[in-house]
Structure 1
Amino acid sequence: MAGPQKRRAEQLLTIFENSSLKPAYGYAQNLNDGRGITFGRSGFCTGTGDGILVVRRYVQLKPTGNPVAQYLPALQRIDDAGGGGNVVGLNGFIQAVQGAGSDPLFRQAQDEFADDLYFAPSQKLAKQLGFRLALTKAQLYDAYIQHGYSDPGYDVYPISANGMADWVTKHLGGSPLDGVDEKLWLVKYLERRRWVLTQTDETWAESAPRVDVYTWISQLAGWLLDKPMQLTWERCRPDGSRGPCQPQPLRTQLNIGGVIYGGFFLE
């Protein structure tokens, strides 16, 4: 997945994470979801092991005059204790991240880890499972960011991106690499992912509409992510429901209404 396809995948991710087409590098908030402080363009968290990696990389890139460097010891203690919602020692961290959001080096650290932690592993799994469609690869990338990776045997494995992929593959008796129809595999994965989101906790349940968007794109046969998309807050279906507009006014772009994240045009 490269070029316009990856650009649209990144735009979708940014819309879901930041309700904007521009990555929110300076975003930081304690959502009280057991993951500590969520921050940055990809929702890195102080209690899940990825946040400390971003901060470490930023400190490497900018060892002096770095507003978040002072929080490394607290982040390390949280990480050593198993992570979670503990924010002891992080007083002022949110303000520090907000202040560093415009720093090109902080942005570089976030971009590097978004690729290393999420994009590269998701595309590696996509290759292992035999995916060819850009939409399948894009939503798997999105799932890696939201659900994370887990080794089998851990409690979180069933709700991890790769754990859900394993569940779907077993449910269908194989993956596209084995001859299973990729479109069917993707539909089942989206169904499974939405179920996991609604059953895990309230914070994840609130984010289930991001899966709906991928489902609606599949319903419009946007498998290749090769067309611009118009997402709108207003519903555009005769029955007042959310989803693909009826009729589609243009065949050169996909039109979807009732998107809770707002109105955006993805070129």
Structure 2
Amino acid sequence: MAVKRARTIPCTDCEDWQEDLSIRGFRVLGCIQDPASPGFCTIVFEEETAQLDGAASNEIAAAVLERPSARMAAPQVEQPIPETIVAALPMLTATQGKAAQAIVNIFETSRVLGDYGQVTVISGDSGHLTYGRTQTTLGSGNLTTLIKQYCVNPGARFGAKLASYIPRLDRKDFSLDADQILHNILRASADDPVMRETQDAFFDQVYWKPALRAASGLGIRTPLGVAVVYDSIIHGSWERMRDRTNGNSGAIGTIGEQKWIAGYVATRKQWMETHTRPDIRATVYRMDAFQRLIDQGFWGLDLPLVVRGLEISADTLSAIPHGCYDGPPAGSRALALESPLARGMDVRLVQVGLSERGVDIKADGVFGQTTAKCIKQFQTSHNLPGTGIADISLIAHLTQ
């Protein structure tokens, strides 16, 4: 049986502690703000089952607790862990966490695993250019942070191309909403495993972990309840809707989690339906989907689930992400219009090359009629035979 441990630490050190504990083989269950010690929180963790024996667990725990921040912390919380802390922790398995994230991925990109290469610009959206697995925006500054994190990785295939845009991203240059070359480079970077892993880490840090902390602080433990919080952290106005729900329905400690979550979903739906912005009104389907899960009693997010017509199951959660290509490498084959249509990373790189040379084309990785037409136009404009076929020589020129 895994032994739960707790430690009171400065809130500023919480993220570093969680990372250290994970590296050393512990599973972090959550952290709760300590009302008696402002600026401190209690982090609860346990060793992974069947991974460490008791002696090894104690030795590693001692090493973690020797961090300098531990010695500066408030009085330490020793076992047994107060039941009030344990009761406040979200109870999610890894699969339940993935299911919660998949629900929001479906809301954001209509894909169970999200769409790592999706580029979106919605008229009237204050976020402006939006990108990635769970969609992060230029307007918030988070897109800039994501691109910077990717570019500093020495293995980033498109790092040099994207780095040239960082000054404009820093300025929140909204003309990037219409920059098709940037859009195509972003789409292509989704084929790079470094970008996909950077996105995973980024979205966990910026959205998922804050959602877990917010749920813990409120006493939300069910996977469905956490999914509702996570959706609001991403979509916005979580704190305002939380406070409005407390006023409309009562505090969660008074009415219980399930009634509170149902009240929150109703409150947020009403806010969406009456919002002045049409793009917000158009997202009321998110609350409708949550209401269906509540009505069916799927608080544990047991698989399989169907959300907005898409299956969330062990198979779909372990599939290859939509629209991502791991090959073939550019120049390994000639590209021409054929049936079935040629798809892959090489097609996408050719499309990016055309885009960088002024051709109006979307880099979707599919060699269809539009791509063949664009190839032919490029060939004729450069005094080449207009075949519409990208041979090895042309591919090398476009992808250099």
Q: TM-score range by the shorter chain?
A: 0.7 to 0.9
- Distance in structure 2 (CA, Å) of the matches to 1:161 and 1:111: 22
Q: Give the match for residue 252 of structure 1.
A: none
Q: Is 1:51 aligned to 2:139, yes or no?
A: no
Counterpart contact for 1:74–1:90, Cα < 8 Å: no
Q: Is 1:97 aligned to 2:186, yes or no?
A: yes
Change in 2 beyond 3 A, CA 1:135/1:64: closer
1:77 aligned to 171, 176, 183, which one? 171
Counterpart contact for 1:100–1:106, Cα < 8 Å: yes
Q: Pairwise mapping of residues 223-242 of structure 1 onto structure 2 (< 5 A)?
A: 223-231=299-307
> What is the aligned-residue identity percentage?
25
- Distance in structure 2 (CA, Å) of the matches to 1:14 and 1:88: 24
Q: Is 1:121 aligned to 2:210, yes or no?
A: yes
Counterpart contact for 1:26–1:100, Cα < 8 Å: yes
SS at the partner of 1:140? helix
SS at the partner of 2:164? helix
Q: Pairwise mapping of residues 250-265 of structure 1 onto structure 2 (< 5 A)?
A: 259=308, 262-265=309-312
Displacement of 1:100 = 0.6
Structure 1: unaligned runs, 5 residues or longer: 80-85, 148-159, 232-258
Q: Residues 89-120 of structure 1: CA distance to partner in whole angstroms, max 9, x if unpaired?
A: 97222111011111111112211121111111
Change in 2 beyond 3 A, CA 1:211/1:179: same
Q: Give the match for residue 254 of structure 2.
A: 179
1:87 aligned to 175, 180, 194, which one? 175
Displacement of 1:168 = 1.3
Please report the TM-score for the alignment, with normalisation by the length of structure 2: 0.51
Q: Give the match for residue 163 of structure 1.
A: 240
Query: Considering only CA atoms, is the larger Rg found in Structure 1 or Structure 2?
Result: 2
How many pairs were matched up? Answer: 218
Q: Is 1:12 aligned to 2:103, yes or no?
A: yes
Task: Between 95-104 and 29-38, report the one with greater CA deviation.
Answer: 29-38
1:41 aligned to 110, 133, 141, which one? 133
Q: Is 1:22 aligned to 2:113, yes or no?
A: yes
Displacement of 1:123 = 0.9
SS at the partner of 1:226? coil
- Distance in structure 1 (CA, Å) of the matches to 2:129 and 2:165: 12
SS at the partner of 2:106? helix
Counterpart contact for 1:36–1:87, Cα < 8 Å: no
Displacement of 1:163 = 2.0
- Distance in structure 1 (CA, Å) of the matches to 2:280 and 2:162: 28
Q: Residues 124-149 of structure 1: CA distance to partner in whole angstroms, max 9, x if unpaired?
A: 111111112111011111111111xx
2:272 aligned to 179, 194, 197, which one? 197
SS at the partner of 1:264? strand
Q: Is 1:221 aligned to 2:297, yes or no?
A: yes
- Distance in structure 2 (CA, Å) of the matches to 1:203 and 1:111: 26
Change in 2 beyond 3 A, CA 1:98/1:64: closer
Q: Give the match for residue 82 of structure 1.
A: none
Displacement of 1:64 = 7.2
Q: Give the match for residue 42 of structure 2.
A: none
- Distance in structure 1 (CA, Å) of the matches to 2:250 and 2:267: 15
Counterpart contact for 2:158–2:189, Cα < 8 Å: no
Displacement of 1:213 = 1.0
Task: Between 12-21 and 215-224, report the one with greater CA deviation.
Answer: 12-21
Taking only aligned residues, the RMSD between alpha carbons, in angstroms, comes to 2.0
Counterpart contact for 2:269–2:284, Cα < 8 Å: yes
Q: Residues 199-226 of structure 1: CA distance to partner in whole angstroms, max 9, x if unpaired?
A: 1421222221122111101101111112
Counterpart contact for 1:101–1:107, Cα < 8 Å: yes
Q: Residues 206-257 of structure 1: CA distance to partner in whole angstroms, max 9, x if unpaired?
A: 22112211110110111111242134xxxxxxxxxxxxxxxxxxxxxxxxxx
